[in-house]
Structure formats: structure tokens, C-alpha cells
Amino acid sequence: MSCNIIKYSEHKNDLLTQEESALLLGNYYTFIFPKKRGDMPSYTIIKQTDDSYKLEATYFIGLDWLDKPNTAIYIEPKLNIKNEQEVEKSYEIDFIKMLFSSLRHPEISKEIKELFFVKWDETPIEIEQKQDLLTPFLVVEFLSILKVIVRKGLKKSYYKIEQNLNSKVKGKVVVGKTIKQNLMKNKSLFTYCSFEEFGLNNKENRLLKKTLVFVKRYLPNYIQSSKSIELHNTFNYISPAFETVSDEIELNEIKQSHTNALYKEYEEAIRIAKLILQRFGYNISNTNQKVIKTPPFWIDMSKLFELYALGILRDKFYNDVIYQFIADGSNELDFVLNTKEYQMVIDAKYRSRYIYGKHEEDIRQVSGYARLKSVYKELNKIQGDIIDCLIIYPDQVNGLEKIENTNLKGTENKRQYLKWM
């Protein structure tokens, strides 16, 4: 049964309409998103003294129950930006492109656990397939990790096989099946045997192949064609590597995955694969529904933008970018850049307000980071030297998608604000 969905965009701070307010029964609604650097509310809705409701959406997108089973909230990825005539316009954030760009760098994949939170035990919410944000998010993560695995080569290992062999015995005889399937059917020359083989058809690869079958059925229904091209190309790159791998696997066969340093991507790939299969209810027919049921979920767009910025910085400066620099017990910096040409502190701010001018509070924060003793030591600077600071923020209209040296030239007062995205 469908429910009423209150729909808004991220960063929205507004009163609900009378019709929307009439749908709510409580006085206060929120969900606290767990984060390593401090939990954050994904949204809040508070009842006012005049019985209206005020919504404050932060930088999370997602879907969640307000009053189960009648009312839910849906926050979509959009930022409001004013044009030259001061007219505010909403621009959709291409979070799929951001995720793909981030995951070009394999080391970033270990950070994606903090990107989203899914309430798998909650009652699913019915929405249109085109509103689904969770599935493409999981599919992009899965295909991006698999692309890294395929480049390295699929994991080979020993795995058990049971076969009904004709006129020979290999490994251990499976007595029960031999009696039931052969001797009782007068097939005396056949023997069921259990033995090990070394190759690609291990449990881990079979789980990944099974998930690829689901993804293949899903991709034609991902109607945002401009965004799906890269998904299709990535799938076509991955698929041939699994051609000889079976998709026969039960989830309970893989309770834990033990991987070594050579195959470290397998752990995250298997985790995401299980989530995708769970998302589709382990039923492949659910991959092509126009109206779907999805568990409540939230995606941290601020963290995604941070990883997107990291990917862009890695493209230009490689390992000269230090991510999540631990300055001291209470300060963790987004980025510290240390090259022969540039030594600076960089902060990613997922806020469009920088398009319209400076914001002293954030400037003071980043400048404070640049005066920490540990930063001076890391950059081999003498205390008292001025360290350059950079703020990266989203600009859908005039932004950049890659770094050029001309973008990083400082101004006379050593303040530089760079439009990106």
C-alpha cells in the first residue's frame, strides 16, 4: 500500500505546507546519522506554536518514515543557486557522477562505509523506480570495486566440487548420494565424489557473479540514460572476466570472507553484493519493477563531496595529498597538500553559499588549522610563516571538474576560493 510522501530537497529550511502539516501526528521528527567525526541529524521537523511544522534539511539525501505506515519523507539531491538576476533555481546534484569520479582511486573504496546508512529491519516504503536513490548508489559502488578487481585479476583458490563420475573415483565418495542416485537406479558405474579444484569458480566469485546477473537485469530500467552510459560501459568491461564463473551460490555459504592483501577489495565487494541482493529481496524479478519497495535509507552528501574532492586532488597531486590529516586529539583536517610548488591546508565545504561571497566563520576555521604546530611540522614550515588555505565548494553553473595550476595561484591577500563541480 502506498503512503503519503513529503518531498523536499537537501539544505532546505522552510515551513511545510498546510496539506503536508496535516499529515503529521507528532511534535518532533529526526534521524541521527552515525558519523566517525560526530553524529549529525539528517533532517529535523519541529511543530510550531501555530500547529505548523518547520523542516530543516541538512546535507543528507534519502527516504524515511515519519508516521508509519501513512507518511514518509523524501529528500532529493538538489542545491538552490541564484543567477545574476537574483532568481533562485534548483540544480540537481549528479551524485552518481561524483561517486564514479571518487571511486576511480581504489584506496577511496575503504571510505564508502560511512557514505550511507540503510534501515534494513524497517518496513519498506513504496516509491516510483525513478525516485530510487539507493539502488543506483549501491550498483555504482559495486561496479567500481569490481572494475578494480578485474584489473588485478580475479581471485583463484581451492573450492569443493561434487560430481557424479563415470567409472572412476576422485577425492571422497559421497556414500548417501551414490546409493540414492546411482545404485538404487541401477547406475552401478557411477559414483558421487567430493573433491577440491583450484580456479576461479570459488564461493566469493560466484557471489559476485550472481550479483552481476541482478545488476544486468536492473541496468535497462535505470532510465536516466545520460548517467547510465558509464554504468553500462563499466559492466561491459567487467562481465567477460566472470564468463567461466557460475552464479550458483547461497548467501549462507559465505558467512565470512578471508582475503589477503592481494585481494583486499573482495571484502568490500562482497559486502556491497550482499546489500544489493538484499535490496532486491533475493528475487531477480524485482529488478525491473516500475514501482518498488525500498528500506528507509540516508546518504551523506557532504562525505561524498569530500571524497569527490579527494579524487580530483589525487588526479592532480597523487599521494602528495594527505587525506584526513590528524593534527591533534581534537582536529582532523580534510586535506593537507605538500608538493614542491604548493603547501596548503584544504577544506571541502558542501555548501553553495560560497558562490555569493566569503564566510568569515569558515575562513577562521581553516586559518586556525593552518596555524597548528603539527601542520607546520608536516609542511616543514617555520612557525610564523603564512600557510595558504583553500576551500573547495560546489558550483553547478560555473564550477570546474579538474585542477589546473592556474586555479591555485594565490591572490595578494593569500585568500583563494575555487569553484568546483
- DSSP letter, residue 400: B
Q: Give CA–CA dist 139/217, Å, rounded.
A: 12
Q: With a cut of 50, which residues of the chain have pLDDT below it?
A: 225, 411-421
For residues 166 and 3, what is the distance between their CA atoms, to the nearest angstrom?
A: 59
Q: Are the C-beta atoms of residues 238 and 146 closer than 8 Å to each other? A: yes
Give the torsion sign (CA, 355, 356, 358, 363). negative
pLDDT at position 421: 34
| pLDDT value for 38 | 81
Q: In angstroms, how far is the first alpha carbon of the chain from the final one? A: 39
pLDDT in tens, 197-217: 898 988 899 999 999 999 998
How confident is the model at residue 286, as a pLDDT?
80
pLDDT of residue 361: 82
How do beta strands 172-173 and 28-33 pair? unpaired
Spell out the alpha helix ranges (H) of 31-133.
95-102
Where are the chain's structural domains?
4-76, 125-155+202-294, 157-199, 302-420
Residue 12 pLDDT: 87
Enumerate residues 6+ apart whose C-beta is below 8 A from 360.
Answer: none
Q: Which of 412, 361, 360, 370 is nearest to 390 (CA)?
A: 370
CB neighbour list of residue 368: distance below 8 Å, 6 or more residues apart: none
pLDDT in tens, 307-330: 999 999 998 898 899 998 988 877
pLDDT of residue 260: 67
pLDDT at 320: 93
pLDDT for the residue 64 = 97
d(CA 15, CA 72): 16
**Strand 343-348 relative to strand 388-394, pairing:** parallel
Return the pLDDT at 259. Answer: 61
| Top-tier CATH class for 302-420 | alpha beta
Task: Count the helices and strands in the chain (H runs, E runs).
Answer: 10, 21
